[in-house]
Amino acid sequence: MIPGAPCSTCVFFSPPPFQSRGERRFGQCRRHAPLIDIDAERGPRTIWPMVGETAWCGEHSVPDV
């Protein structure tokens, strides 16, 4: 845990595939399981929380090296 470290450096941060590293401004936090949203027309889907790359939380984690 590294308090105050930006989400973009966390192992659980997942940017959209269409953004390059220099363009990324937001991404998905995959620290916990996604929520399930059930749409009457499209059926169930999973939703990961969206976070800004400069946001932070108390559960930041870096990859084991």
Residues 7-56 pLDDT 10s: 989 999 998 877 666 666 899 999 999 999 998 899 999 999 999 999 99
Is 17 inside a domain boundary? yes
Is 65 inside a domain boundary? no
Is 48 inside a domain boundary? yes
Per-residue confidence (pLDDT) for residue 23, from 0 to 100: 64
Look at the chain and report how many structural domains it folds into: 1
Is 61 inside a domain boundary? no
26 in helix, strand or coil? strand
Is 1 inside a domain boundary? no
Per-residue confidence (pLDDT) for residue 18, from 0 to 100: 72
Q: Identify the residue whose tokens are 């996604």.
A: 34
Is 2 inside a domain boundary? no
Q: Cα–Cα distances in Å, from 7 out to 31, 40, 41?
A: 11, 33, 34
Q: Which domain holds residue 45?
A: 7-52
